[in-house]
Structure 1
């Protein structure tokens, strides 16, 4: 690995940035779509099962196949990779948002209504805050998936750490394979740790508020 760092150090920094950039945008899009959609599904429960089921079906599509499908639509590069990864990010966040909101204590919702809160205020000030640990668990799982699958984005010219892996496979060079794989693992672990800490910080606060 020392030789790899000496030979490919600057490239490693660039590829790591590309990998992080693609992963972060896909995850961000997943969060801003899946959480509001999860809230909506709690108000329209008749379509909740179908919608979550559809997200489950989309996640079962092989990553390479989904990336290939994106090429005729978006061409090659980062954009089709981001769209595909966004699709993969939806299910854990959507499912956990729905389940987290569904498990909020009904007596707390009644108390919010008794205080004069409208539906939007109840969602923002009570429901989402109480469901935050469950939602964060979904975001955490989705982040791990996205970071791992971003390595495949190299297949359609998006760059990232997958470039080292695919080059290593083509050239039968284990140093390139490890040089791409190990940073992906480290990046996934770091992001998972940071999101886990955020989840832990949210949980005591919510418990404390719920005890009042």
Structure 2
């Protein structure tokens, strides 16, 4: 906007780059931030900087963490014989909210998507295979989203695991195809886990 102060314009432009934040939302957020007390703005800024500086990927499961290995990988009460493979760290949080799964995780950080130039080597698939060498894994649950990319990734991983003789299941979905795991409620996730199928 021609008459808008440059710092406000810059803030709106940066907020607009966030996923799910359109121009109007970015504008509302920018003006809200400017109206906030300086200490609150500083706290917000410090929280963003701290998260970026201190959060890393777990060396075992690739989930986001501030300690390595992460709390889940360090939890001796979890079932180490089962690994649930998800697309993103936010999917781990969705699964944990359901409180029905007590195994381990592996985060791929995406899905196979040739149109976007993302192949198997761009994901944490090699790291998953390496985990299987040293552990007594009995089952891999593939919990990628029911999208074309999620299904392609699930099929690719299942073919890699087939010669290893490890039971490989695909999470069942009682929701429309094309949804995202992070938006499902606890009951849907619990039901999907209970009704998983072998692939």
| Superposition TM-score, scaled by structure 2 size | 0.25
Greater relative contact order structure (CA < 8 Å, 6+ sep): 1
Higher strand proportion: 2
Higher helix proportion: 1
| Superposition TM-score, scaled by structure 1 size | 0.24
